[in-house]
Amino acid sequence: MTIALEVKDLKKSFGGVAVTQSVNLQVMPGERRLIIGPNGAGKTTLFAQITGDLLPDSGQVFLYGKNMIGQPVHNRAHLGMSRTYQIITLFSKDSLAHNVVLSLLGIHKRKNQIFKGLPANDPIYDEAIELLDSVGLKAQAHRRVTEISYGEQRRVEIALALAQKPKVLLLDEPLAGLSRDERVLVADLIKSISKETAIVMIEHDMDVALAFAEKILVLQYGKVIVDGDRDTVVNDPKVQEVYLGH
C-alpha cells in the first residue's frame, strides 16, 4: 500500500540548536496518528516542515509518494495536505460562511474569483453551508467569527481544513484552550472525519489523544524516542520517565 505521508531523515536547527533531529515518520492512508512530547520538543516545528511553512535543513517529505520539498504551502494543500494551527487563524471580521468559501475557492479552478467577488447566490455558498453543517455550525453560518465561542472557532478551522478535501490532515493541538464541554464536541468531530483522510494530531490532552490514536510518535529534544502502538508507548520506560514523569 502506498504510504500517505512519509518523512525521511528530517533535520532542522535554529541558531545551532537542533530542533528536528533525523525524524522519520510513516502514516498510512486513513491512519490516526498522534504526536506527543514535552513543551519545546519540536512538534510544531515538525508540522511546519511537513506543510511547507518552514524549510528543513535536510531530509524529505512525501505525500502519496510525491516529493513535497520545494513545493510551496498552497501546492501542498492542492495535492491533499491541510493543517490547522495552534493559534486560530480565521478572518475574524468575516462570517463563518465567507471564511469557508475562501478556503473552498483556494482549491477551486475559479480561485481568481477571490479577488473579483462572488454573487450572493453562487452555489459555492451552499457547499460552505453544508461543510458548516458537518461541524454543527449551520445555524451560525452568517455570524462573524468574533461573535462565536472559541470552541466554535476551532470547529470552523476544522471545516476550513476539510474544505480542501485533504488526504492528510494535520491538527496542531485542536483541543487547546477549550472548556471540557467544547473538548468533547471537538474530539467527537475529529472522530467523525472520514477514513479517506489520514489524521496526524499533536495533542496534550492524553485521555482524548490516547483514545484517538492508533500509533503514537514521541518526540523529545527534536528526536523520536518511541514510535509505536498505544501499549508500546504507554509502557515504554523512556516515555514514562521523560513524558509521564514516572
> What is the contact surface with ligand ATP in residues (CB under 6 A)?
14, 19, 37, 39-45
Other beta carbons within 10 angstroms of residue 87's beta carbon come to 9
By beta-carbon proximity to ligand ATP, the closer residue of 195 and 238 is 238
> What CA–CA distance (Å, rounded) separates 243 from 70?
34
Question: Which of 198, 184, 128 is CA-nearest to residue 154?
Answer: 184
Q: DSSP character for 31?
A: -
Minimum distance of ligand ATP from residue 6's CB (angstroms): 20
DSSP one-letter string for 172-186? ESTTTT--HHHHHHH
Interior CA angle at 125 toward 119 and 129, to 5°? 155
By beta-carbon proximity to ligand ATP, the closer residue of 49 and 140 is 49
For residues 202 and 186, the answer to whether their CB atoms sit within 8 Å is no
Minimum distance of ligand ATP from residue 93's CB (angstroms): 27
Minimum distance of ligand ATP from residue 239's CB (angstroms): 15
By beta-carbon proximity to ligand ATP, the closer residue of 102 and 233 is 233
Minimum distance of ligand ATP from residue 42's CB (angstroms): 4
By beta-carbon proximity to ligand ATP, the closer residue of 88 and 107 is 88
Minimum distance of ligand ATP from residue 171's CB (angstroms): 13
Minimum distance of ligand ATP from residue 35's CB (angstroms): 8
For residues 10 and 61, the answer to whether their CB atoms sit within 8 Å is yes
By beta-carbon proximity to ligand ATP, the closer residue of 43 and 83 is 43
Minimum distance of ligand ATP from residue 14's CB (angstroms): 3
By beta-carbon proximity to ligand ATP, the closer residue of 58 and 146 is 58
Burial class, 139, CB count within 10 angstroms (exposed 0-12 / middle 13-18 / buried 19+): exposed
By beta-carbon proximity to ligand ATP, the closer residue of 57 and 147 is 57
Helices (H) and strands (E) in the chain, counts: 9, 10
Q: DSSP character for 76?
A: H
Q: Who's near 210: CB < 8 A, 6+ residues apart?
A: 34, 216, 230, 234
